[in-house]
Amino acid sequence: MPTPSMEDYIEQIYLLIENKGYARVSDIAESLSVHPSSVTKMVQKLDKDNYLVYERYRGLSLTAKGQKVGKRLVYRHDLLEQFLKLIGVKDEHIYEDVEGIEHHLSWDAIDRIGDVVQFLDEDKTRLKRLKEIQEENNGEN
């Protein structure tokens, strides 16, 4: 299993490749706000662990393993964003909250959150009732 730091890199590399068609060390450094030397070290580790193939000065590509993990990490991130929006978390808090919790939840918890999102999406009266409860509770504070 990748560490939380490795997950951040794999997720970012996956997104860069999906959006731009490639991921360079400089792109990864910029998107993660880290030094290129840190990216190079991590990319070498990810290469060693078979998440990607890295050739110095030639770029990198995700292996099948890296693509599978990257896709799953992006799904987790997107699902948590969707969940926090659905339950009424303010937009300005969502990204930071997702970054703070995504590495600390089991995949079982992620699957259950997916169930809750599906439950709320299937019947809009459920979401309406949740918002009513939130308004009632906000009035008590």
Contacts 24+ apart (CB under 8 A), 105-108: 105/76
H or E element in which residue 13 lies: helix 4-20
* Helices 91-101 and 64-86, packing angle to 10 deg: 140
77 is in an annotated binding site: yes
11 known ligand binder: yes
Instruction: Give the three-class secondary structure for 118.
Output: helix
CA distance 138 to 141: 5
Residue 92 among known ligand-binding residues:
no
Burial label, 64 (beta-carbon count in 10 A; 0-12, 13-18, 19+): exposed
Is 102 known to sit in a ligand binding site? Answer: yes
Rg (CA), the chain: 18
The reply to whether 35 sits in an annotated binding site is no
Residue ranges of the annotated binding site for Mn(2+) are 8, 11, 77, 99, 102-103
Residue ranges of the annotated binding site are 8, 11, 77, 99, 102-103
